Each structure stands twice: as structure tokens, then as C-alpha cells.
A and B are shown apart, each in its own frame.
Chain A
Amino acid sequence: MSKLPTDNDLMTRLANGDKQALYIIYDRYAPALYGVILRMCRNRVQAEDLLQESFVKIWQNAHRYDRTKGRFYTWAYRIAKNIGLNALRKPMPLIQNEDLSVHSNKEDATTIDYTGLNGALKKLEPHHQKAIELVYFRGYTHREAHEEMDVPLGTFKSYVRQALKLLRESYGTELMITWSILQILA
């Protein structure tokens, strides 16, 4: 059984112009990035276009990825987030002309709700969920997000820190359980 290529292997191949490597990366990461983009723009058609744009940019900028500075997914997430925010800053051509700030009027009447949260995040308190959702899935800055939640910036930062700590504990517990099962099976 052949070993699956690591992200670093794939990025090396990508930097050398191997399109197949990009398609493997797409299969691996497109759902996670699409989850972010769709929650950000809340329009399925636009989100699909932006996902395509994100992978084109990953393809074009593969040589800039520096593995010493972080994971591939973090790098790709930043690309997708910036493409999403840029698209939200521009009015949709031929459809709407009203002045849209990045985070105003996000709730489109035609939106289908694909955006409910899952996993460990769903187990958090509503204000913790909201804090993580705003900064991670909706592209808000901390400054924008604390205004959106109508709490002081310091309080908002505490929410994020607490939420991350709880997530860490949740994932740590899961890891411990998995480790224990593996030990028993061994």
C-alpha cells in the first residue's frame, strides 16, 4: 500500500508546476476552505467561484509558501479569507449597486443556511461560538467582531482565548481517548 504524500511533498511538487499535486491538495482541503468561504459570503454560487479563485492563487503562489512559518492549511486559509473579503468589498456587478461595507447586509434573503457550526465548536457556550465564528469563519477583525457582539474589545479577546482553551481541552480529550483505544487494541 503506497504512502499518502504529505502536504510538504505536495507543495514541493506544486512549486515545480505539478498540477496533479494541486488536485490532490484540492481534494484534501477544498471542503475545509469552502466551509470558511461559504460562511463568509453566504452565497453558494459566489462561494464556488471564490473557492476556484483561491486554488488558482494557491497554484500561482506555491513557490511563496514557507513551511517553516506554519502549516499549509494556515497559508491556504489566509489566501481564501483575503479573496473572500476582497469579493465582499466589491459590489456584485450587474446585480446590486448599493454601497456594501465588508460586513454590512450579510444576511442575503436568498441565503440557504449551510452555515451551522459543527464539532467541538458546537459544544461551546453561544458567546464563545459566536466569537470564533466571527473571526475565523466570517472574516471579521477583532475590532469589528467586538462591535458586532457589542462587548468591549478586552472582553471579546477573553471570549476568543477562553473558546480556544476549551477547544484545546476538547481536542486533547479526544486525543487521549484515541490514544487509550489504540493502547488497548495493541
Chain B
Amino acid sequence: MMDKKRIHEEGLLEKYLLDELSENDRIFVEKAIADDVDLKQQFIQLEADFEKMAFENAIVPDPRVKTMLQKRLEEPKKLIYYRTPLMIAAGLALLFMLTTFLMYNRWQESQERLNLLQTQTNSLQERLVVLEENYQTTNERLQLINAPSTVPFLLKGQVLDQDARAVAYVNHQNKLVVVNPKGLPQLPEDQTYQMWGDVDGEMISMGLLPTDKDLVMLKYIDKAESLNITIEPAGGNDHPTVEKLVSYVTM
């Protein structure tokens, strides 16, 4: 009785119909309706009155709403909202995505080009450093050769090969020796030319003479009386093999 009284006083049946109740009150009213025949009859009457009122105030929608509903249910994956701003939003979103995609591709291309240019620049810089070093060395050697204090010595083949030629440039002031070995005949891979300075009868190694170079810087030997070229095993020798003396010149 208390429940019924509360339901009437608070208008809970109307609120239940209108879906205004909290979860607890909804359960409470549903139970009361199920348990009380009179209350159930009242609710049935209320529903009927509300429904009749709704039909009296019905408005026929445009037939296309039903058509669109049918389309939507037949094609469930396709959401159909006609003439709503969602279409505009979707269009703009698609346009934005396409633009972003194109911009991203162009950015990627630019990035790749930039990386390639960076690599080429680094390579050119490295080559420039090498060229500068080469130029510096060549220039130094040229200056050495052309210096007034430099004395050139021609070493002609005398013993083993009469056609062999080498030119040694000696600068006593700067204590430098540069040799052009290009005129020496090619040797097998297991042999090399080696130059020696003769100081009081003792032969001191000045270095090896690879024939694939234009100018070779050698060690200056103070007070050397002559320059000698011998053929030695590859890698050079501690003592000259006098049997294989190619050329010599007295200084």
C-alpha cells in the first residue's frame, strides 16, 4: 500500500513511461506493476492514453526517410546521412587526407634529394681535401726542383740496363732528396729498386723507388759521396746487392 501511495504521489508511473526514473526507481516501479493488478491496469491505461495522444499529434515524415532507412539497412556498411553537415565534414576530411598524403610524398622526395645532395657534397669535399693535399705535395716538390740551391743528378743505366734512367734532385740547404724514377724499367712483383747513399764507403739506404710514381721523396743522407740504385727483393734490403747495381752518380 505504501508503495502504491508513493507511486501515485510522486507520479512515478508517468515518469516511468517517460523514462525519467533512476535505475533503482525503475526496478521498483516495474516490480510494483508486476505485483499489483490495479497498478498494472493503470499503467496500461496511461500507455494507451499517451499513445492515442501521440497519434493525434502525429506528423507524416517525408517518404524519402523510409527510402533512406531501407537503403541503410540493405547496405549496413554504408552510413547514409543526407543533407547533413556530416557529408561536408566527410568531404573535407577526405580532401585533407589527400592533401596531406600528397604533401607527405613531396616532403619525402625532397628529403631524399636533400640526402643525395648531402652525400654528393661530402664526397666532393673529401675529393677536394685529397686534391689539395696532392697539389700541396706537388707544389712543394716543384718548388724543391726549381729552387736555385737544388742540384739535379741524372742516373744512367750503366751495368744491367743501359737504357735505364732516373733523375735525383738534391737540395743540401734544405736537406731534401726527390727522385723521378719513371725512366727505370718495370721489375717483377718480387723485386724493387732501392737507392743508397755512399758515406765513407758505407752504403746507407735512402728508400725504395716504386716506378709507378712521378716523384719519390727519399731520405737525405748527409755527406753522401754518391747515389746508387740497386735491384732488391720486394720490401727493400738492409744491405745493397752490389751485383745488381743499376746506376750510380758521384755527387
* A residues adjacent to B (C-beta < 8 A): 19, 22-23, 26-27, 30-36, 38-39, 45-49, 51-52, 55-56, 59, 68-71, 73-74, 77-78, 81-82, 92-95, 114, 117-121, 132, 135-137, 141-142, 157, 160-161, 164, 167-168, 171
Contact = CB atoms under 8 A, between A and B. Distances in A.
B18 to A, nearest CB: 6
Contacts of A120: 52-53, 56
A70 B49 contact: no
B214 interface: no
B79 to A, nearest CB: 10
Contacts of A48: 61-62, 64-65
B29 to A, nearest CB: 10
A77 B72 contact: no
Interface string B51-76: 11111111111101110111011100
Given A19-B73, A93-B86, A118 B57 contact: yes
Query: At the interface, is chain A mostly helix, strand, loop or mixed?
Result: helix
Contacts of B59: 31, 34-35, 38, 114
B251 to A, nearest CB: 98
Contact of A30 (B19, B49, B64, B65): B65
Contacts of B51: 32, 71, 73-74
A26 B66 contact: yes
Interface stretch (B9-17, B151-159, B172-180): B9-17
The 9 A-B residue pairs whose C-beta atoms are closest, nearest first, are A119-B56, A31-B58, A94-B85, A32-B54, A78-B19, A34-B61, A35-B59, A32-B58, A35-B58
